[in-house]
Amino acid sequence: MSQTDPIQEAIIEEFSIFEDWMDKYNYLIELAKELPPIEEKHRTDQYLIKGCQSRVWVDAELRDGNMYFTADSDAIITKGIIALLIRVLNGRTPQQVLDTELYFVEKIGLRENLSPTRANGLLGMVKQMRLYALAYQAKTQQTQ
């Protein structure tokens, strides 16, 4: 998917307002506060992202052919990052989740402003979301 994505373009626009990274981090914190909490039953090791410095739980469900994610983290910046990923990937088909190039990460300067452990966590979150997409895609193909 090399064309522009309206959701990612909106995120890039929102972050372009801020000059320095402290302001961008504060915006991530605001986004984290808006993320609906994950159900308590999903705050278990089964939903925990591996390789992330902080604890991040991600769950996904397929409704009417589209994926919807819920997540939480014990670290507020990380929670803001997962809120952005959810915003971009929610409501897409499993194939679209797999095909979506998350170019906003680069464009807003997120990757270069994360510590190596947070960058690994970001990769882990994306990987887990795509694994859910693969699983739902396989399940859907089996039932067709």
Q: Which residues are annotated as catalytic?
A: 52
Token duo for residue 49: 């992202």
Q: Give me the DSSP letters along 23-69.
A: HHHHHHHHHHHHSPPPPGGGSSGGGBPTT-SS-EEEEEEEETTEEEE
Instruction: Determine the distance from the C-alpha atom of residue 102 to the mean position of all C-alpha atoms in its chain, rounded to a whole number.
Output: 9
Residue type, 115: S
Residue type, 141: Q
